[in-house]
Chain A
Amino acid sequence: MKPVNQKAWFLVLPVLVLVAISAVIPLMMVVNFSVQEKASNGQFFWMGTKWYETVLHDEKFWGALFRSLSFSAIILAIQIPLGIFIALNMPRKGWGVPASLILMSLPLLIPWYVVGMIWQMFGRVDIGLLGVMLKDFGYNYVGDPVDAWGTLILMDVWHWTSLVALLSYAGLVSIPDAYYQAARIDGASKWAVFRYIQLPKLGRVLTIAVLLRFMDSLMIFAEPFRVTGGDPAFLSIELEQKSEELGWASAMSIIFFLIILAISWVFYAVMTREDADVAKPESAS
């Protein structure tokens, strides 16, 4: 039998400390606030689950949650296919490669708040290019919820489709030539090549793209806040408006956090299910 040696714990210690300071302790503080009430004299009182009940009975919370999830669903439905489509059509050799890569990274380099500012001005019906062009069709993102939604979705697509495209492009160029050659030998159509070679090989990067875009879009704050001043009110904006109420905001943060965690886990589990199927017979043999 091997001698039991506890020294290995010391090697893990730095990581544990780092994770504790960066994630666990702040999170526990939020948990702590979510079950207490701060009185005006600075004293804390035990509240139990009362804040959680308040949040869960708040219609505004459910409305914001619905809007946030809808927003994520819409932008995923646009950005993922569009990103793949762009990646498929990006050049594979020559000067076009660096040119398109740089072009695609540009929106990603702009700070989120600035993106909000750009689109806020872009959509203004008095001076903005988009606003002036669409004014005659009755477009105005101030006051018209449909136009506000449209503007925010367009902005997010403009800002983040590049990320999906770049990830997909990286996945596409890593497919060995032999696959395309075999497909030609097998007489596969362009669609069959996409369906049976490119899409399956993109599976992993698409998992990452979907998770990143889902989490980020649920947490979107700076841009809509800058563009429309917080209308439609997503969860993040609702949260910001409650930030004075420490207990309420904390309870909502925890619920928000759990929702993102749960949905991300479902995404991850579904998208990596095929790999798991395979791992089993191999480990058995």
Chain B
Amino acid sequence: MARIDLDRIRHAYGPNPKSEADFALRLVNQAFDDGGAYALLGPSGCGKTSLLNIISGLVTPSQGRVRFNGDDVTNLPTEKRNIAQVFQFPVIYDSMTVRENLAFPLRNRGVKQAEANQRVDEVLGMIGLSGIAGRKARGLTADVKQKISLGRGLVRSDVNAILFDEPLTVIDPQMKWQLRAQLRELHKRFGYTMVYVTHDQTEALTFASKVVVMYEGEIVQIGAPEELFERPSHTFVGYFIGSPGMNVIPTTLDGASMRLGAYSAPLPVAPRLRGKPKLEMGVRPEYVRIGAQGIPATITRVEDAGRFRIVRAMVQGHSITAISPEGDELSADPHITFDPKGVHLYADSWRVDLTVEAAS
């Protein structure tokens, strides 16, 4: 196990990057603590797989250094880095049995037969494949094949980290829960450093103790799931995490109060801003209340989402989404209010700290 440091990593796939847009990774500084369970979350094409491949050495970054426990491994080939990686689509060695598949990484590293056997038996038990250990791996179902891939990642006891690249994409939903729970269990028992790439927020939030949100080749926020939900530091995080995502509405400042159309609300402090940034107000649908008082609104649509309803409304010319508990009567003359503890101010998409200490 190891602590992994990414030091000012930039990466472009083309040979001569001209503009920022040519970089798949614009600038990444990130430390993965020894024994931590991290999720890399972001939309397709945000650079999360590139980042993972840079850690494992399948990709060498254009700029920056990669360190394991302080040792520079940037130019070390994958096979020397002692990393396990599980890919999106199952990779199995067709001509081998399930058991031979699991033993393969050990055999390549010259682990002694007796020790290898013991490790393989242990992992077979963990992933629940002891029953078919002697079967040829060819022709098994996708989720069994993916379990084998996973098992090959877990079989080496001395790996620096285990990396997962959307490993549950091909797995049935029910099996997904089960495998994810198993991974968490393994993490608890063995304390592997794990980095898990996904574009599925539920997967990220349930798997990881720390979620790293990426957007357009940059890390926009790192935090525990609650932090990402309560204090999204970038409008993208607000929009990407939570379902439905955060309301982001253009706003203007008038001293220490924030305006929405003809209405305004006081802020705890007057923010100090540099230049003339684009100002937006962000509030999650969970903090929008519908009642008889507040700003008048026109409800345009109501969606039933099971235990609650998603209400779409027009307020002062902006569309706003609110969550309303099931069974609540929607007033014939609806008004909305915002719960102050869920209201954030964004300048050029980045959250402005409105605590008194930050202002002083």
Contact = CB atoms under 8 A, between A and B. Distances in A.
Interface of A: 176, 178-179, 181-182, 184-189, 192, 196-197, 199-201, 274, 277-279, 281-282
Nearest to A179: B91
A176 to B, nearest CB: 7
A278 B98 CA distance: 13
Contact of A281 (B91, B139, B153): B139
B138 A182 contact: no
B95 A196 contact: yes
B194 interface: no
B331 interface: no
7 contacts: A178-B88, A182-B152, A187-B108, A188-B79, A277-B136, A278-B139, A281-B139
B77 interface: yes
Contacts of B89: 176, 178
A279 to B, nearest CB: 7
Contacts of A197: 93
A199 B104 CA distance: 16
Interface string B86-104: 0111010111100000001
Given A187-B105, A274-B138, A200 B93 contact: yes
Contact of B104 (A178, A188, A279, A282): A188
B94 A201 contact: yes
B138 A185 contact: no
Contact of B87 (A181, A196, A200, A201): A181
Q: Is the interface of A mostly helix, strand, loop or mixed?
A: helix
B96 to A, nearest CB: 7
B21 interface: no
Contacts of B153: 185
Interface in B258-274: none
A114 B93 CA distance: 45
Interface in B225-246: none
Contacts of A278: 136, 138-139
B85 interface: yes
Contacts of A185: 56, 58, 78-79, 83-85, 105, 153
A104 to B, nearest CB: 27
A136 to B, nearest CB: 49
Contact of A182 (B91, B94, B135): B91
A166 to B, nearest CB: 23
A243 to B, nearest CB: 47
B87 A178 contact: yes
Interface residues of B, number: 29
B104 A196 contact: yes
B157 to A, nearest CB: 14
Q: 7 shortest A-B CB distances, which residue pairs?
A: A278-B139, A182-B91, A187-B108, A186-B105, A184-B78, A200-B95, A187-B79
A256 to B, nearest CB: 36
Given A178-B91, A196-B96, A184 B139 contact: no
A160 B169 CA distance: 43
B17 to A, nearest CB: 20
A179 B104 CA distance: 14
Nearest to A176: B89
Contacts of A196: 93, 95-96, 104
B149 interface: yes
B108 A189 contact: yes
Contacts of A186: 104-105, 108, 152
B109 interface: yes
Q: Give the residue among A186, A196, A274, A282 with the most B Cβ atoms within 10 A.
A: A186
B338 to A, nearest CB: 47
Interface in B105-159: 105, 108-109, 135-136, 138-139, 149, 152-153
A200 B340 CA distance: 63
Nearest to B85: A185
A116 B105 CA distance: 51
A184 B58 contact: yes
Counting chain A CB atoms within 10 Å of each CB, which of B53, B58, B77, B149 scores highest?
B58
A197 B95 CA distance: 8
B160 to A, nearest CB: 12
Contacts of A200: 93-95
A228 B311 CA distance: 89
A279 B139 CA distance: 7
A274 B138 CA distance: 9
Given A274-B138, A278-B138, A282-B139, A184 B79 contact: yes
Interface in B60-88: 77-79, 83-85, 87-88
A181 B139 contact: no
A19 to B, nearest CB: 33
A279 B53 CA distance: 35
Contacts of B83: 185
Contacts of B85: 181-182, 185
Contacts of B152: 182, 186
